[in-house]
A = this chain, B = another copy of it.
Amino acid sequence: MSQSNTIDFWFTVGSTYTYLTASRLHQVEAATGLRFRWRPFNAREIMQEMNNIPFATKPIKLAYMWRDIERRASKYGLPIKVPIPYPLKNFDLASRVAVLGEIEGWCADYVRISYRRWFVEGKEVGTEPNLSESLSEVGQDKNRVLQAANTERVGRAYDDNTSEARRLNIFGAPTFVVRGECFWGDDRLEDAIAWHARATLKPI
């Protein structure tokens, strides 16, 4: 259940724009008093169902995306070093580790620091050496995590998250959900926060 000061942050490990969000949410929490609940789900699966292929077959749009992310990172004061390896080779493992983190309580820190290694040091999430380095930084044993991440329990939790996202009509990552209202994209975070504060359309 969402608490009154909580916004759900739905994301997919592997989504590029999620770097911007994952890297600044802790600052947003400090500035606003809000809490974000990190919900990893499989946006790729939902997008495939919808035949929603925003970039892979569209090189001009893909080039724009990287430039846009670079500019937005600069705007937020976030480091970034392009080109960035993409897409993730170990997409499923990367996601499952985040789901385990959600269950065990270290998801936000792990995702934030593993994304930074990906976007600044060029080390892919879900792949060595990012896995060992990032898990170590959040105090988790890599061998235990890899074993646990591949259990049926974690797979079911991941599927359940994706099903819940589907029910909420989420079609991409990141998405913020405030009382059932979806805000898609890092660039809608401020709209989601404003919605949380008033929860209505402003009268004209």
Chain A interface (Cβ < 8 Å from any Cβ of B)? 50-52, 54, 57-58, 60-61, 63-64, 67-68, 70-72, 74-75, 77-79, 169, 171, 181-184, 187-188, 191, 194-195, 201-202, 204
Partner of A78, one of B169, B191, B204: B204
Rounded to whole Å, the gap between the CB of A139 and the closest CB of chain B is: 28
Cross-chain contact B191 with A64 (CB below 8 angstroms): no
- Indicate whether A61 sits within 8 Å of B194 (C-beta atoms), given known contacts A184-B68, A187-B187, A201-B74: no
Cross-chain contact B194 with A79 (CB below 8 angstroms): no
Cross-chain contact B171 with A204 (CB below 8 angstroms): no
- Indicate whether A191 sits within 8 Å of B71 (C-beta atoms), given known contacts A64-B182, A202-B77: yes
Number of copies of this kind of chain in the complex = 2
Can you list 29 contacts pairing A with B, beta carbon distance less than 8 Å?
A: A50-B58, A50-B60, A51-B57, A51-B58, A52-B61, A54-B54, A60-B169, A61-B171, A63-B169, A64-B169, A64-B171, A64-B182, A64-B184, A67-B181, A67-B182, A68-B183, A68-B184, A68-B188, A71-B191, A71-B195, A74-B201, A74-B202, A74-B204, A75-B194, A75-B202, A77-B202, A77-B204, A78-B204, A187-B187
For the complex, what is the distance from the CA of A61 to the CA of B57, rounded to whole Å? 19
**Which residues of chain B are near A183, meaning CB under 8 Å?**
68
**Which residues of chain B are near A171, meaning CB under 8 Å?**
58, 60-61, 64
For the complex, what is the distance from the CA of A57 to the CA of B194, rounded to whole Å? 31
**Which residues of chain B are near A77, meaning CB under 8 Å?**
202, 204
**Which residues of chain B are near A181, meaning CB under 8 Å?**
67
Closest to A200 in B: B74
